[in-house]
C-alpha cells in the first residue's frame, strides 16, 4: 500500500509518499518521497507565526511539494482523459485556496494519476486556516485520484514519530506515557494501547515551546526561539556560567499533573527589566530558564510514571529536539530511578513537524478511512482537536 501524507498544521508544508508492507504495528515503512518546506524565514520577519500568512504560504508551496515528493518516489503515474465536470468540482473543493484549483488541474493534466492508495492528512490540532489548506487539498486530490482519506491527529503523529526507527515501529509495552511538548501543546497522555488515549496532565496557560519562543524574544533572539535558547544554554552549561536569576518552578508541588509556563516567562521579563545583559548573562539566563522549565516537566513526568506504573515513556513534539531535555529523559532509566522503563525519543529529523509521522498515524487508523465524497462532506479542520 502507498500512502500520501499531508501536514500543514503550523509553519511547515510537508508531504510524503510512504510504502507500507504489512499490518500495523508490525509493518515495514519505506519513505519513498519526502518534501518539507519550512516557512520559518518568512515568519521570522514578523517574530512569530500569523495564521493568515501561514495559510498564504501553504497555498503557494503545497503543489510544488506534492510534485517533489511524487517525483522522488518514482511511483508510476498514468495520464487520464480530460473531463470538464472534474474542473468544476475541483474549483468548488478549493474555493478558498485562491489560484490552487487552476494549478492543480494543470498538474493533473500534465502528470496524471499516481499509484497512491490512500491519503492521510492532518485535520487538527493547529492553526485552523493553515490546517484547512491541507484538508481541502486532500479533498481535491482524493476526488481526482478516486482514493479514500484518513483524517489524522497531529499529536498522535508526534507520538508515533518517536517510536519510528526509520522503517519500523519499535516494540512498545503498555501502559505508556507520552510527554508531548510543542509550540502549541504541553500534555501528558496515558496510552493503555495503540489508539487509546487519556490526557492526564496539561498546561493551564502557555505551551512550553511557546515559553521558549517568548523568552527568546525577551532576550532579543530570532524566531523560533527554542533552538536559540537551547544553543545558548548549552554553552552556559559547558562553561559552567554562574546562575543569572533564580527562577520559579511553577506548579511543581500542585499535586496534580498539570503545568504552567506563563509565570516563568514573566519572571524572566521582570528579572531583566531595565538592564542590558552581557552575552554571558544571556547564556546563563537561557540555561536558568531551561533548568526551570525542564525540571517541572521531568518532576510531573516522574509522578505520572509512578502513579500509572508506566512501562514505556515517549517524548514527542518540537521541544523534544532540545538536547538537555533529551538527555534528562534518557537519564530516567538509571538504576536509582526507573531501571525497567523503556524511553522513546524521536530521531532528530522527526522531532519537529513532518509528514512521515502523519503517514504512520494514518496507517494506525486505516479503519477510519473515508471515501473521497464522505471525507469532502464531513471532515473539517479543527484547530482545537484533542486526543482525549
Ligand atoms: O511540534 P512543533 O514543530 O510545532 C508545533 O506543533 O508546535 O514544535 C515547535 C516548537 C517551537 O516552539 C520551537 O521553539 C520548539 O518546538 N523547539 C525547541 C527546540 N527546537 C524546536 N524548543 C527547545 N529546544 C529546541 N532545541
Ligand atoms: Zn507539532
Number of helices (H), then strands (E), belonging to the chain: the values are: 13, 12
Residue 182 Cα to ligand 1 midpoint, Å, equals: 5
pLDDT band at 81 (very low <50, low <70, confident <90, very high): confident
385 Cβ below 6 A of ligand 1: no
Mean pLDDT of 70-75: 98
pLDDT digits (tens, 9 = 90+) for 133-154: 999 999 999 999 999 999 999 9
Q: Please identify, by atom number, the ligand 1 atom nearest to the C-alpha of residue 321.
A: 26
Q: What is the dihedral of CA 161, 165, 166, 168, to 10 degrees?
A: -90
Contact between 282 and 232 (Cβ < 8 Å): yes
pLDDT digits (tens, 9 = 90+) for 96-106: 998 999 999 99
DSSP 8-state assignment for residue 366: G
Residue 99 Cα to ligand 2 midpoint, Å, equals: 27
pLDDT digits (tens, 9 = 90+) for 152-184: 999 999 999 999 999 999 999 999 999 999 999
Give the model's pLDDT for residue 47.
84
pLDDT band at 38 (very low <50, low <70, confident <90, very high): very high
Residue 352 Cα to ligand 2 midpoint, Å, equals: 6
Q: Please identify, by atom number, the ligand 1 atom nearest to the C-alpha of residue 158.
A: 1
Mean pLDDT of 245-269: 97
Ligand 1 test: best mutation among 182, 328, 358, most atoms within 8 Å of CB? 182
354 Cβ below 6 A of ligand 1: no
201 Cβ below 6 A of ligand 1: no
Is pLDDT at 82 greater than 80 in this prediction? Answer: no
pLDDT band at 48 (very low <50, low <70, confident <90, very high): confident
316 Cβ below 6 A of ligand 1: no
Is pLDDT at 80 greater than 90 in this prediction? Answer: no
DSSP 8-state assignment for residue 23: -
pLDDT digits (tens, 9 = 90+) for 331-361: 999 999 999 999 999 998 999 999 999 999 9
Residue 224 Cα to ligand 1 midpoint, Å, equals: 7
Nearest residue (by CA) to ligand 1, atom 1, is 318
Mean pLDDT of 233-243: 98
How many angstroms separate the CA atoms of 315 and 323, rounded?
12
Nearest residue (by CA) to ligand 1, atom 22, is 226
Is pLDDT at 300 greater than 90 in this prediction? Answer: yes
Is pLDDT at 298 greater than 90 in this prediction? Answer: yes
Nearest residue (by CA) to ligand 1, atom 14, is 226
Give the model's pLDDT for residue 46.
87
Mean pLDDT of 207-217: 97
The model's pTM is 0.96
Is pLDDT at 238 greater than 90 in this prediction? Answer: yes
Is pLDDT at 20 greater than 80 in this prediction? Answer: yes
How many angstroms separate the CA atoms of 316 and 305, rounded?
16
Residue 209 Cα to ligand 1 midpoint, Å, equals: 5
Residues near 364 by beta carbon (within 8 Å), at least 6 away in sequence: 24, 25, 156, 160, 194, 195
3-state helix, strand, coil in the chain (%, to 5): 45, 20, 35
Supply φ then ψ for residue 172, to 5 degrees.
-135, 140
The H or E element that residue 78 is part of is strand 77-78
Give the model's pLDDT for residue 161.
98
33 Cβ below 6 A of ligand 1: no
Residue 282 Cα to ligand 2 midpoint, Å, equals: 27
Residue by residue, DSSP assigns 297-359 as HHHHHHHHHHHTT-SEEEEESGGGG-HHHHHHHHGGGSTTS-TT-EEE---GGGSSS-SHHHH
157 Cβ below 6 A of ligand 1: no
Q: What is the mean pLDDT of the chain?
A: 97
Residue 303 Cα to ligand 1 midpoint, Å, equals: 24
Give the model's pLDDT for residue 85.
87
Percentage of residues in the chain having pLDDT higher than 90: 96
Mean pLDDT of 362-374: 97
Give the model's pLDDT for residue 45.
87
| Helix 279-307 / helix 262-272 crossing angle, nearest 10 deg | 160
Nearest residue (by CA) to ligand 1, atom 11, is 183
Ligand 1 test: best mutation among 154, 209, 289, 358, most atoms within 8 Å of CB? 209
Amino acid at each position: 500500500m502507498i500512502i500520501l501524507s499531508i501536514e500543514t498544521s503550523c509553519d511547515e508544508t510537508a508531504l510524503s509518499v510512504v510504502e507500507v508492507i504489512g499490518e500495523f504495528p508490525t509493518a515495514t515503512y519505506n519513505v519513498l518521497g519526502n518534501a518539507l518546506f519550512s516557512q520559518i524565514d518568512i515568519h521570522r520577519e514578523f517574530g512569530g507565526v500569523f495564521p493568515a500568512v501561514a495559510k498564504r504560504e501553504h497555498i503557494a508551496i503545497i503543489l510544488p511539494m506534492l510534485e517533489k515528493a511524487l517525483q522522488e518516489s518514482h511511483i508510476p503515474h498514468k495520464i487520464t482523459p480530460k473531463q470538464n465536470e472534474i474542473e468544476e468540482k475541483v474549483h468548488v473543493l478549493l474555493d478558498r485556496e485562491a489560484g490552487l484549483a487552476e494549478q492543480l488541474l494543470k498538474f493533473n493534466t500534465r502528470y496524471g494519476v499516481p499509484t497512491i492508495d490512500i491519503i492521510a492528512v492532518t485535520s487538527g490540532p493547529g492553526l485552523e486556516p493553515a490546517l484547512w489548506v491541507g484538508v481541502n487539498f486532500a479533498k481535491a486530490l482524493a476526488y481526482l485520484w478516486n482514493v479514500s482519506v484518513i483524517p489524522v491527529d497531529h499529536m498522535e503523529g508526534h507520538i508515533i514519530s518517536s517510536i519510528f526507527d526509520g522503517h519500523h515501529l519499535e516494540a512498545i509495552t503498555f501502559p505508556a506515557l507520552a510527554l508531548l511538548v510543542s509550540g502549541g501543546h504541553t500534555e501528558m497522555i496515558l496510552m493503555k494501547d495503540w489508539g487509546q488515549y487519556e490526557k492526564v496532565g496539561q498546561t493551564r496557560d502557555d505551551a512550553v515551546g511557546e515559553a521558549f519562543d517568548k523568552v527568546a524574544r525577551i532576550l532579543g533572539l530570532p524566531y523560533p526561539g527554542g533552538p536559540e535558547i537551547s544553543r545558548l544554554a548549552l554553552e552556559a552549561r559547558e562553561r559552567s556560567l554562574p546562575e543569572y536569576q533564580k527562577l520559579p518552578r511553577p506548579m511543581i508541588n500542585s499535586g496534580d499533573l498539570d503545568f504552567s509556563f506563563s509565570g516563568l516567562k514573566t519572571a524572566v521579563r521582570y528579572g531583566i527589566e531595565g538592564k542590558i545583559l552581557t552575552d554571558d548573562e544571556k547564556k546563563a539566563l537561557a540555561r536558568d530558564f531551561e533548568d526551570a522549565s525542564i525540571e517541572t516537566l521531568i518532576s510531573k513526568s516522574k509522578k505520572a510514571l509512578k502513579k500509572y506504573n508506566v512501562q514505556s515513556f515517549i517524548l514527542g513534539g518540537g521541544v523534544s529536539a532540545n538536547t538537555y531535555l533529551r538527555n534528562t529523559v534518557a537519564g530516567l532509566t538509571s538504576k536509582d530511578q526507573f531501571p525497567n522503563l523503556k524511553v522513546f525519543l524521536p530521531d532528530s529529523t522527526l522531532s519537529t513537524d513532518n509528514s512521515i509521522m502523519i503517514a504512520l498515524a494514518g496507517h494506525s487508523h486505516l479503519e477510519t478511512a473515508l471515501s473521497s465524497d464522505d471525507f469532502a462532506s464531513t471532515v473539517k479542520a479543527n484547530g482545537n482537536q484533542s486526543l482525549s
